[in-house]
């Protein structure tokens, strides 16, 4: 009998030994998701460069390339510890700075979170394009990814190594970061463009807006596609492991993006505007930002509604900013900020099995409001200090020549007769 | 004894509990494959935009961006139900329209199939580029992804929720859709270009073809690479789960693409033509289309032969269409249609362990033929009706100005002196 | 009792049967990694095309597209067998040529290795850009991927079907190929540019270097991003299976790349040079090449140090070559060769739990030295023979007109007034 049990034992352990372990499979999943989220950095670079003038193409690309680099290093150094370290008070963590060792999973988790921090930091680059000094911008990106983002992040997601953030304790839902990543990034961007002021020529003396068209709409479209592809990693990777719920999360992500583009198209048609490529793509990105909070906790019908509304939010949000004479080159504040607030609210409104609960909605509004209350004044102070010390805005001459020439001593398209397209003679500088 | 068994039981369940479940791992795999297939949409946009003139660059990009959006939504609404719903008759399904709930796997499966439907719809956009109205095109894309593609799809792949399609019952082999996706899309494209007629200036009065070069061959190449990368998701994802057979499928996909490019190069050299970049890339895409039907059921040597022949098919197919004075801007009919038929045949010819069986080959020919017999007249009718109602072809003036200016009120490269490259004076309009 | 055991048996086997098998999951992982490594081919094409002049944009793209095709086929035909076949002597394998059948895993392994061979072959294309004949280049790529790379590869990694390479026996550490792939490719590139000589106008008669700026820095940046994304597949895929160690490997890869860019920036600033986009991106690529050998066997702090030093190595390596009047269009020798040597050394210096061991360092130096001693003279001979037979360098007239016109009968940007940017009047041809 005993030998029979023994052989049974061997038989039974054998298949288990050949089955892939959860830990290893989850690691592979999160590494792939991290690669996809990193790819979003390329999407931002393409989108923002395409929406800028050719004379700033190199500068925009460089900012996106380098904020991933310095943002990643800073997040490793301090941000990760602030966000996920042992968290006694609920306000920030105080361990795991510059992590060297640890369990295998710690490295995987750090990699994924590092990509998120870089995303939060890079949102400002597009809004502030075409007039920001390279050094000043990079210092801002370091502070966002190393301090502003992780502190707020600890409130909602913190405590991987003990404790829990205060927003998490309230029951705040933000699955993959409509608020934590996107709105926080957008409020930093808003502060940046307020400190900078609009580009030369963006508004006439009487405040009439003038369109400054982006130089390469093909890059913008490719950027939109790349961001969309990367978002599957952003949202579905936020499970931090392989589960059957990935399917719904990815489907919601896709449908909301599609409906965001449709919503933007309808919003443009409803106001007899031409269906602009840039705005349509921003609509789909608004749908992606919007579904990020609630992608794991609603059905596909609500996801489509979330995206559709996000498309409208983006169109009217961009108009609102323009009316306020704020110059957001790529529409980042509307896409990541306004659609992020809407998405955070939608995650509360359309929560599985508890639709339209006032308690839940209030918590969502508190979370979204606290993101603004924390990130906006902090970033305002940071950019103001940068402006008063090393300088944030380039000189008028450098802005006219283009930042590629002024800051990098090279141009993006040396053979295609790049010219300075604006001479500034009849326009005044604001801000 | 009992307690011994109990502890054994605990021991044995423990490793099983820590092993990743098949369902979760398959979900992760199909979500990643869906992201790759969606990325192909970017590949199409790049390839088609690069092969068009700069004055239509925005329009082509927009069409590809939006047909993924509206195609996805329509497929969710009706296409999925027609293709995979409860299938009593073998001709189409009648359940699962606008699916809201269901098992986790249902969402994953829907996502993957949605990407396929968008691929089928987007094939027409390149063929019909530079002369099609935006609204008319999008209505066509909606009908392809919501009706023409899913009905044929149900014949070959339908019945996920009961029943089986009639082609499947015959033993038709089309693993990932040489016929179901690519040929169906191509026959719709063929109908579209026949209704539209060629671009102004594409053929002289006496029928002599004139080359209208694409404006950006770098975009074309990048598009080819992106499509190739995405095809790993298209073919290997069609397993719908993680199996050891993925390796052969992916290897066959890669080798066939490589041999398709080689085949196109040899075909060009054999007729003393210059080795054009666009044709070489189309050769590799022909190799990809060709192996799509049989990638799971042949060895690598036959996969290479399939790809090599597909490269020749593409080159001579493009010439045939040109001789017939049909204007397929990107070669979509040759790449997706002719190479799709060849690939469907090759899947029968080179079937594992049953090479050159006449019975099998006849079934393959029936399937390929039925795809044409269903999709071509349906699409012809659809495009004809669109042409007679809201209009399919732009005005001559709009075509000369470019669709970017005429339909989107913006241009792709505002700083690079975009000009209308053709004035139409000596040429006549056909079709 | 027996029936109790039987039911236990059924219970226990059930979960095992539903758990994903190791073999299937590893297959899925390696297929995805292969797709990522193939995507690097697109990254090379973008980077190299962007760093070349517009008149050679098509040619550079074509070379990268086709060397993946012909390199893959050749590797299947002979390279794989030389590298991994039954290996009696330790110097090369002699089985598994043109493999047709085999276990499922064999196909997966072949696919992944085929992508590596294409990477090794494609490194030369950028260095030799703008002056190499298409046919001559492709023959070189065939010989690199079919012979030079796999023979060295067998020394370090060979013997999958029996035996072991002699470098492996010494304990040589090169996890994913700093030496095996990147340095071998770079030494072939070095031989190529020595046989070719510099481009017309790259150096004045007195040896003063002249900058020939690349035509599209946006493509360069996108290429950098794509290579970085693909490198997650290159390094983490080299585990050949799903393990928990993937997280550290991917994190090290990312941090080293980020620090490589930072290192290049610091190196440029330290010598009062402008922070060029191209050099910064090369710095990050140097970081990626550098960490490739040791990514699985050091902590993140050492990975960052490896990357930082690699950034300096790239900057000063590029200067050294320029001083020697060698014309490496994209900096491939510095990025893949010099940073590869440094990375191979770093893998020995910072080896887990055995830091700064002289024994280990000597083995690493032997391996790096042998790569040069094998690949450089072999490639020199190959390119010399090509030059003396079918010809390697284009005529002066063709070089001035551009290879797109001369070799492919098409241009990359026909609507944007491409012009020949150099007339050669005052400059002399070298080499």
Best mutation site among C77, C111, C405 for testing chain B: the one with the most B CBs within 10 Å? Answer: C111
Min distance C31 CA to chain B CA atoms (Å): 6
Per cent of chain A over pLDDT 70 is 92
pLDDT at C93 over 70: yes
Chains that touch C (3 or more CB pairs under 8 A): A, B
Q: What is the mean pLDDT of residues B58-68?
A: 95
Whole-angstrom Cα distance, residue B87 to residue B181?
A: 20
Q: How many residues does chain C have?
A: 431
Nearest chain A Cα distance for residue C229, angstroms: 6
Pick the residue from chain C with its C-alpha nearest to A62.
C277
pLDDT for C19 equals 81
CA distances from C214 to B246, B279, C87, C276, C360 (A): 40, 26, 45, 12, 41
Q: What is the pTM of this model?
A: 0.94
pLDDT, average across residues C10-18: 44
Residues from chain A that touch B104, judged by Cβ atoms under 8 A, are 244-245, 247-248
Mean pLDDT of A196-221: 95
Q: What is the pLDDT of residue C429?
A: 26
Q: Write the pLDDT tens digit of every residue in B5-28.
A: 444 444 444 444 468 889 999 999
Contact C236 A99 (CB under 8 A): no
CA C157 – CA C177 distance, rounded (Å): 9
Question: DSSP character for B183?
Answer: I
Q: Are B122 and B141 in contact (CB under 8 A)?
A: yes
- For B:109-138, CB contacts with C below 8 A are none
Enumerate residues 275 to 294 of chain A having a beta carbon within 8 A of any beta carbon in chain B. 275-278, 280-281, 284
**Distance between CA atoms of B416 and C416, rounded to whole angstroms?**
7
Of C242, C245, C301, Cβ closest to residue A20: C242
List of chain B residues whose C-beta atoms are within 8 Å of the C-beta of residue C411: 213, 217
Secondary structure of residue B422 in the 3-state scheme = coil
Residue ranges of E strands in A164-225: none
Closest-CA residue in chain A for B44? A222
Is B100 within 8 Å of A245 when comparing Cβ atoms?
no
User: C254 vs A111: CB contact, 8 Å cut-off?
Assistant: yes
SS3 B46: helix
* DSSP states along A231-278: HHHHHHGGG-S--TTHHHHHHHHHHHHHHHHHHHHHHHHHTT----HH
Pull the structure tokens for residue B276.
């054009």
| pLDDT higher than threshold 60 for residue C270 | yes
Chain B residues touching A224 at Cβ < 8 A: 65
Q: B101, B109, B115: which is closest to B69 by C-alpha?
A: B115
CA distance B105 to chain C (A): 15
Whether pLDDT at B291 is above 90: yes
| Cβ under 8 Å to B: C residues 165-194 | none
C79 lies in some domain = yes
Nearest to B46 by CA among C61, A38, A314: C61
- Which residues of chain A from 398 to 427 reach within 8 Å of chain B, CB to CB? 413, 416-419, 421
Mean pLDDT of chain B: 91
Interface with chain C: mutation pick from B6, B254, B256, highest number of C CBs within 10 Å: B254
Query: Considering chain A, what is the average pLDDT of its residues?
Result: 91
Q: Are A287 and B73 in contact (CB under 8 A)?
A: no
User: Could you tell me the CA-to-CA distances from B117 to A32, A256, B73, B147, B168 in Å, in that order?
Assistant: 25, 17, 10, 10, 19
- Residue A248's domain comprises 24-408
Asked if residue C272 has pLDDT above 90, the reply is no
Weakest-pLDDT range from A73-87, B126-140, C156-170, C286-300:
C156-170
Quick check: C4 pLDDT over 70?
no
* Two tokens, residue C359: 């024994």
Confidence of residue C274 (pLDDT cuts 50, 70, 90): confident
| pLDDT score, position C418 | 55
A323: closest CA of chain C, how far (Å):
32
pLDDT at A417: 64
What angle do helix axes B300-323 and B246-270 make, rounded to 10 degrees? 40
Q: Write the CA distances from A410 to A51, A316, A415, C48, C279, integer angstroms.
A: 19, 37, 12, 17, 12
- B42-57 pLDDT, tens digit per residue, is 999 999 999 999 999 9
Which residues fall within 8 angstroms of residue B400, CB to CB, at 6 or more apart? B200, B420, B422, B423, B424
Question: Taking 80 as the threshold, does the pLDDT of residue C163 lie above it?
Answer: no
Query: Residue B232: pLDDT above 60?
Result: yes
The label of the residue with tokens 């939504």 reads: B73
In a domain, B146, yes or no: yes
- Which tokens belong to B323? 């001789």
Q: Are A91 and A156 in contact (CB under 8 A)?
A: no
Taking only residues 210 to 229 of chain C, the set having a beta carbon closer than 8 angstroms to any beta carbon of chain A reads 213-218, 221-222, 224-226, 228-229
Interface contact C69, partner B, CB < 8 A = yes
Instruction: Look at chain A and report how many structural domains it folds into.
Output: 1
Which residues of C fall within a CB distance of 8 Å from A119? none
Of B53, B222, B261, the CB nearest to C42: B222
CATH of the domain at C322: 1.10.3430.10
Q: Is the pLDDT of residue C18 over 90?
A: no
Position A370 in a domain: yes
Q: Measured between CA atoms, how close is B156 to chain A, in angstroms?
A: 24
The partner residue sitting opposite A236, judged by closest CB among B31, B65, B66, is B31
Residue C249 lies in a domain: yes
Give A203's strand partners: A209
CB C216 within 8 A of CB C338: no
pLDDT confidence tier of residue C356, bands split at 50, 70 and 90: confident
Of the pLDDT bands very low, low, confident and very high (cuts 50, 70, 90), residue C15 is: very low
Mutate to test the interface with C, among B249, B258, B302, B412 (most CBs of C within 10 A): B258
A271 touches chain B (CB under 8 A): no
Residue A20 dihedral angles phi and psi, to the nearest 5°: -65, 135
To the nearest 10°, the Cα dihedral for B87, B90, B92, B94?
-20
Q: How far apart are CA C95 and CA C83, in angstroms?
A: 9
Confidence of residue C9 (pLDDT cuts 50, 70, 90): very low
Mean pLDDT of A412-418: 79
Q: Would C16 be classed as within a structural domain? A: no
CB contact under 8 A, C229 and A39: yes
Q: Does C97 touch chain B (CB under 8 A)?
A: no
What pLDDT was estimated at residue C3?
A: 47
Any idea what the Cα angle at residue A76 is, between residues A83 and C229, rounded to 5°? Answer: 110
Query: B interface mutation test: which of A35, A250, A304 has the most B CBs within 10 A?
Result: A250
pLDDT of residue A418: 55
What confidence score (pLDDT) does residue B417 get? Answer: 64
Residue numbers of A between 12 and 51 with CB closer than 8 Å to C: 12, 15-16, 18-21, 23-25, 27-28, 30-32, 34-35, 38-39, 41-42, 45-46, 49
In contact, A62 and A223? CB cutoff 8 Å? no
Per-residue pLDDT at A311? 98
CA distance A3 to C135: 69
Q: What percent of chain B has pLDDT over 90?
A: 82
Chains adjacent to B (≥3 CB pairs closer than 8 angstroms): A, C
Q: What is the pLDDT of residue C354?
A: 84
Of B29, B242, B262, which is closest to C73 when you measure between CB atoms?
Answer: B262
* C-beta atoms of A221 and B38 within 8 A: no
Is residue B1 a part of any domain in this protein? no
Per-residue pLDDT band at A355 (split at 50, 70, 90):
confident
Q: Give the sign of the dihedral formed by CA C79, CA C83, CA C89, CA C91.
A: positive
Q: What distance in Å separates the CA atoms of residue B397 and residue B408, rounded to the nearest whole number?
A: 15
The enclosing H or E element of C187 equals helix C184-196
Q: What is the pLDDT of residue A160?
A: 83
Region C58-67 average pLDDT: 95
pLDDT of residue A88: 63
DSSP tag of A20: P
**pLDDT band for position A315 (50/70/90)?**
very high
Percent pLDDT > 70 in chain B is: 92
Q: Looking at residue C198, what DSSP letter applies?
A: P
Q: Is the pLDDT of residue A239 over 50?
A: yes
Tokens of C315: 């900057």
**pLDDT in the model for residue A425:** 34
Give CA–CA dist B124/C323, Å, rounded: 53
Read off the pLDDT of each residue in C270-280 and give the average, rounded to a whole number.
89
Q: How far apart are CA B21 and CA B27, in angstroms?
A: 10
Tell me C162's DSSP state: S
pLDDT at A423 > cutoff 50: no
- C235 touches C253 (CB < 8 A): yes
Name the closest residue on chain A to residue C8, using Cα atoms.
A8
Give the nearest partner residue to B247 out of C42, C105, C411, using CB atoms: C105
pLDDT per residue over B105-129, tens digit each?
Answer: 999 999 999 999 999 999 999 999 9
Query: Does residue B381 sit within a domain?
Result: yes
Q: What is the mean pLDDT of residues A170-180?
A: 97
Share of chain C above pLDDT 70, in %: 92
Kindly state the tokens that stand for C344. 């191979």
Question: Best mutation site among B218, B305, B307 for testing chain C: the one with the most C CBs within 10 Å?
Answer: B218
Which residue in the block uniquely carries the two structure tokens 């992606």?
A288
CA angle, A254 then B287 then B308, to 5°:
170
In the predicted structure, residue A416 carries a pLDDT above the cut 90: no
Contacts of C304 in chain A (CB under 8 A): 73
**Residue C100 to chain B, least CA–CA distance (Å):** 6
Residues 6+ apart with CB under 8 A from A2: none
Min Cα distance C112 → chain B (Å) is 9
DSSP B175: S
Closest by CA position to A311, among listed A349, A282, A340: A282
In this prediction, residue B33 carries a pLDDT of 98
Alpha-carbon distance of C280 to C220, in angstroms, equals 11
Give the nearest partner residue to A45 out of C25, C225, C244, using CB atoms. Answer: C225
CB atoms within 10 A of CB B8: 16
In whole angstroms, give the CA distance from residue B399 to residue A177. 44
Which tokens hold the place of C192? 């190529």
- Cβ–Cβ contact C259 with A under 8 A: yes
Measured between CB atoms, does B108 come within 8 Å of chain A? yes
- Contact across the interface for B42 and A226, Cβ inside 8 Å: yes
What is the Cα–Cα distance from A364 to C97, expressed in whole angstroms? 62
Is residue B416 a part of any domain in this protein? Answer: no
**Which pLDDT score, from 0 to 100, does residue A392 have?**
97
CA distance C108 to chain B (A): 4
Under a CB-based contact definition with an 8 Å cutoff, are residues C314 and C264 in contact?
A: yes
pLDDT of residue C280: 96
Lowest mean pLDDT of A14-23, B409-418, C163-172, name the range: A14-23
């Amino acid at each position: 009998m005993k030998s029979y049990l023994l052989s049974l034992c061997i038989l039974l352990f054998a298949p288990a030994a050949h089955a892939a372990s959860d830990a290893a499979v989850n690691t592979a999943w999160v590494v792939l998701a991290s690669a996809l989220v990193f790819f979003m950095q390329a999407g931002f670079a393409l989108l923002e460069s395409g929406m800028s003038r050719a004379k700033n193409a190199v500068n925009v690309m460089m900012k996106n390339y380098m904020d991933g680099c310095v943002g990643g290093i800073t997040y490793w150094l301090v941000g990760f510890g602030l966000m996920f370290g042992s968290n006694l008070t609920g306000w920030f963590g105080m361990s795991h700075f510059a992590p060297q060792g640890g369990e295998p999973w710690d490295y995987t988790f750090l990699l994924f979170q590092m990509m998120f921090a870089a995303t939060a930091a890079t949102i400002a680059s597009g809004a502030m394009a075409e007039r920001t000094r390279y050094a000043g911008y990079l210092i801002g990106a370091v502070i966002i990814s190393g301090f502003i983002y992780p502190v707020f992040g600890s409130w909602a997601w913190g405590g991987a190594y003990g404790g829990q953030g205060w927003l998490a304790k309230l029951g705040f839902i933000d699955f993959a970061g409509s608020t934590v990543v996107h709105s926080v990034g957008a409020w930093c961007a808003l502060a940046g463009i307020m400190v900078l002021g609009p580009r030369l020529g963006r508004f006439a003396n009487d405040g009439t807006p003038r369109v400054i068209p982006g130089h390469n709409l093909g890059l913008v479209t490719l950027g939109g596609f790349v961001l969309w592809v990367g978002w599957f990693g952003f949202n579905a990777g936020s499970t931090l492991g392989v589960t059957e719920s990935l399917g719904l999360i990815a489907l919601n992500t896709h449908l909301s993006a599609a409906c965001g583009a449709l919503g933007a198209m309808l919003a443009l048609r409803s106001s007899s505007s031409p269906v602009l490529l840039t705005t349509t793509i921003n609509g789909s990105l608004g749908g992606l930002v919007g579904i990020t909070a609630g992608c794991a906790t609603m059905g596909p019908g609500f996801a489509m509604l979330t995206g559709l509304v996000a498309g409208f939010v983006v169109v009217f949000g961009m108009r609102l900013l323009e009316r306020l004479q704020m110059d957001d080159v790529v529409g980042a504040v509307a896409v990541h900020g306004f659609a992020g607030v809407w998405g955070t609210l939608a995650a509360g409104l359309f929560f599985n099995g508890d639709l339209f609960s006032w308690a839940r909605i209030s918590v969502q509004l508190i979370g979204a409001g606290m993101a603004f209350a924390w990130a906006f004044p902090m970033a305002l102070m940071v950019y103001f200090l940068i402006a008063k010390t090393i300088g944030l805005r380039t000189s008028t001459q450098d802005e006219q020549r283009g930042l590629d020439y002024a800051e990098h001593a090279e141009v993006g398209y040396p053979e295609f007769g790049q010219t300075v397209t604006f001479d500034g003679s009849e326009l005044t500088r604001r801000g």
